Structure 1
Amino acid sequence: MKPVQAAEAAIVRGAAGAGRTGRTARTAAVALAMGGVLLFTAACNDGGSGGSGGSAAAGASGGASGAAGSSGGSTTQAAPKASAAVLTVSAKDGATDVQPGGFTVTVASGKLTSVELKDKNDKAVAGTIAADGLSWKPSAPLAVGMAYTVNAQAKDDAGLPAAISSGFTTLSPAKKVATNDNIADNGTYGVGMIVSVAFSKPVKNKDAVLKGITVEASDGTVVKGHWFGSQRLDIRPAEYWKPGTKVTVKYRLKSVEVSPGVYGDVDRDEPFTIGRYQVSTVDAAKHVMTVASGGGATKSIPITAGNDQNPSWNGTMVISGKEKVTRMNSATVANVKGDEYDVPDVPHAMRLTTTGTYVHGNYWGNAFGKSNASHGCIGLKDVKGGSESSSAGTFFNSSLVGDVVKIVNSKGRTVSPDNGLSGWTLPWSNW
């Protein structure tokens, strides 16, 4: 039998592994390849005596080193050909504090042919080899506190393969940021609903956080996120939602480094539904609110808006909360001019802004449809204790969090997009 050729590649486990220097790893690889050749050759010759064709190496009982057979001339064993491809894993073999983001497998003097990364549960991690074949990275950050193994192969320009394997564990973060939003699981909201996410600590890696929060709509509606500062992210579509749309907010933040050394705290899905259509327009100059419902139906309700000293905001706002009874005190509102007030039992209150603008019932005045007499709120006729059949009670019961209330023709300024859920005042091109 002809001599068996040298192994095509040296397989190195954990080139950067614990306790091995680069030279030790290379020596082990060559020894492994040579050992494979000698064992395979011995098996082929079966330890018999040499014939007229010769032998690559004596059998186990022959005592020869393999440089020559027992008779009939000699043969020379070819040295193993090592691949020029050099593979590198960004995580050291045995490491226990690997960052979940930025993991890569790279190759020099060759092209990657396959990369397999699995977690301790034998679940494969999705990833992609770059178009130039020089690197591989996962499609998303790795999970925190998870053990992984990686096996990668490559070939050099001559087609000789190389391989590397490694095992490591990602870090378990000591610092986390709390994440809260304004969505209740399986809640129903109006067509103007804006998802507002609050973070307990400043976020520096905003792009990474945006990638970790996705929104899926049953009708394919596309949404975008807009940052107000470093701790608030609001998400909305270009136009109002369509009634009946099923929406799911998907958080995948546990493995996202939101700021140096600080990670997200949540991986969860939050589904909600868009309810019927209702958009209300308050004309402060005419002292009337027109409520538009689905199917083109409209209803006009006499109102009173902010007086000349305390005009109502102009702009598109969204009902962010509802309270059947609440206390309103001028001491809690900035820049109130004129008489102070403290009403302990304001009925049918629906918040529009964080600065204290409401649509609410009013049992102490009679300016509805006639003049603007409030301190900036939109007042509807009601009775003390609140009546379900009053203008305020009827509007309260027909309204959802997420319904749009647009105020026009007020002497006030336009509401800021971060004052409540007023992001609709910001053009989509700037969102």
Structure 2
Amino acid sequence: MNHVAKRARAGSAAVLTWAGLLTVLAVLTGCTEGMRDIGEGKPRSPRDAIQISPQDGAEDVGPRSRIEVKVPDGRLERVKVSRIEDAQREVVAGRISKDGLSWAAVGAAGRLALASKYSVEAVAVDAAGRRSARNTSFTTVVPEHRFIGYFKPENRSTVGTGMIVSFDFNRPIRNRAAVEKAIEVTADPPVEVVGHWFGKDRLDFRPAAYWKPGTEVTVDVGLRDVEGAPGVFGSQRKTVGFTVGRSQVSLVDAAEHTMEVRRDGELISTVPITAGAPKTTTYNGKMVVTELHEVTRMDGRTVGFGGEYDIKDVPHAIRLTESGTFLHGNYWAPYDTFGSLNTSHGCIGLRDVKGGSAAAPGGWFFDRTLIGDVVEVVNSPDRKVAPDNGLSGWNLSWKAWKAGSALR
């Protein structure tokens, strides 16, 4: 399943064979006969089981707004609200009501901070014991005549060797050279790191090749009082850093229906997969993991697929592109789909069970994945993923990447 309408658009040295690892998986109760993947089941109710305010993707939210999480029935099982500022994450204190129908921030935590990004992760259980999940985010207002860059990865995180440092600015940048010069990305051991602009509001940084495992990366953000556009000045002065962990690069062959997982260059597993169906193919190219969700909701209505699918409890979901390509656990397809057929809406599916299992291929891969790991797709009939779709800048040559810098 590709959660986007593209047309409208361990370390163990032993090689594991998943066909022999799991002999039995539960068949999804209530599947229609011949169901191949999410889009081919009956449409679910359009009503959201979990209601979150402010709405997903909202911008310039005022400080007097309040974060609310509600369910019409059943109960909230888990809610986590985080404030993300200058690549640092702070959990917002809150509690679920006694009846389980709502969550609210506690005390002063309920007042939203300016120039911040908030994320909300919620899981609910209905009266029949069925789980559903929602993951949303929004940004708060930045003072007039100021601009800010929301950037990743998070401070002090450990990431995969494919991590790209990425800044998204809340206002268009006219003086790109001044802004790029004010951000310095350095590495130990040293390596040349160059910026590349995607349009007027995004600036990414990467070296010529994947980072070396163990590299310590420092990001000096000196944007305060830098004039990014006439009369609009930066407000950030911050130094953050992250560590590059082990190397893990996974190669998905859409024609062979397999994924080869390599850790530090050594093949540790060959996993059967299902990729995009002929009318909803999977992008080719190198994609970088940007999000990890133990469970999430995927609704075709939000991305142009109408009522083709609405799965509220997709397990072990790993985001690969901003447009919605995921590598995720799949409990609804027949056992023999994996390794033999491409049936999804463009995502990469791994065998899993309802609720997710660490012993299933989906859970096994999820537990061994870092933000910044690389997943490369080959032999799909689709085009190559755009370099600005997620952190897909590795699909540009080093020459083309450097040509996108405002300092050259």
TM-score (norm. length: structure 2): 0.62
2:407 maps to 1:429: no
2:267 maps to 1:305: no
1:233-289 CA-to-partner distances (Å, cap 9, x unmatched) read: 111111000000000010011031111111111011111000001000000000000
1:174 CA displacement: 6.4
Contact 1:349-1:361 at 8 Å conserved across structures: yes
Contact 1:209-1:258 at 8 Å conserved across structures: yes
1:354-397 CA-to-partner distances (Å, cap 9, x unmatched) read: 11100000000021001100000000000000001110001000
Greater mean deviation of Cα atoms: 179-188 or 307-316: 179-188
2:317 maps to 1:353: no
In the alignment, the residues of structure 1 paired with residue 323 and residue 222 of structure 2 have an alpha-carbon distance, to the nearest angstrom, of 32
Q: Which residue of 2 aligns with 1:96?
A: none
Q: Which residue of 2 aligns with 1:212?
A: 182
1:65-104 to 2 correspondence within 5 Å? none
1:180 CA displacement: 0.9
1:185 CA displacement: 1.1
Of residues 196, 201, 212, the one that matches 1:226 is: 196
SS at match of 1:242: coil
SS at match of 1:392: helix
1:295 CA displacement: 5.3
Q: Which residue of 2 aligns with 1:191?
A: 161
Contact 1:185-1:270 at 8 Å conserved across structures: yes
Mark the CA change 1:411 to 1:266 in structure 2 (over 3 Å): closer, same or farther: same
What is the letter of the counterpart of residue 400 of structure 2? N
In the alignment, the residues of structure 1 paired with residue 301 and residue 195 of structure 2 have an alpha-carbon distance, to the nearest angstrom, of 34
2:157 maps to 1:180: no
2:354 maps to 1:363: no
In the alignment, the residues of structure 1 paired with residue 148 and residue 183 of structure 2 have an alpha-carbon distance, to the nearest angstrom, of 14
2:364 maps to 1:394: yes
2:309 maps to 1:341: yes
1:136-285 to 2 correspondence within 5 Å? 175-285=145-255
In the alignment, the residues of structure 1 paired with residue 302 and residue 320 of structure 2 have an alpha-carbon distance, to the nearest angstrom, of 16
What is the letter of the counterpart of residue 222 of structure 1? E
Contact 1:320-1:402 at 8 Å conserved across structures: yes
Q: Which residue of 1 aligns with 2:299?
A: 329
Aligned residues: 257
SS at match of 1:297: strand
SS at match of 2:274: coil
What is the letter of the counterpart of residue 342 of structure 1? D
1:204 CA displacement: 0.5
Q: Which residue of 2 aligns with 1:414?
A: 384
1:232 CA displacement: 0.6
Is there any run of 5+ residues in structure 2 with no aligned partner, and where?
1-142, 402-408
What is the letter of the counterpart of residue 295 of structure 2? V
What is the letter of the counterpart of residue 244 of structure 1? G
1:281-315 CA-to-partner distances (Å, cap 9, x unmatched) read: 00000000000102523310000000001000001
TM-score (norm. length: structure 1): 0.58
What is the letter of the counterpart of residue 355 of structure 1? S
Is there any run of 5+ residues in structure 1 with no aligned partner, and where?
1-172
Structure with bigger RCO (C-alpha 8 Å, 6+ apart): 2
What is the letter of the counterpart of residue 347 of structure 1? P
Contact 1:183-1:270 at 8 Å conserved across structures: no
Q: Which residue of 2 aligns with 1:152?
A: none
In the alignment, the residues of structure 2 paired with residue 295 and residue 253 of structure 1 have an alpha-carbon distance, to the nearest angstrom, of 38
What is the letter of the counterpart of residue 352 of structure 1? L
1:56-105 CA-to-partner distances (Å, cap 9, x unmatched) read: xxxxxxxxxxxxxxxxxxxxxxxxxxxxxxxxxxxxxxxxxxxxxxxxxx
Contact 1:179-1:265 at 8 Å conserved across structures: no
Q: Which residue of 2 aligns with 1:6?
A: none
1:21-60 CA-to-partner distances (Å, cap 9, x unmatched) read: xxxxxxxxxxxxxxxxxxxxxxxxxxxxxxxxxxxxxxxx
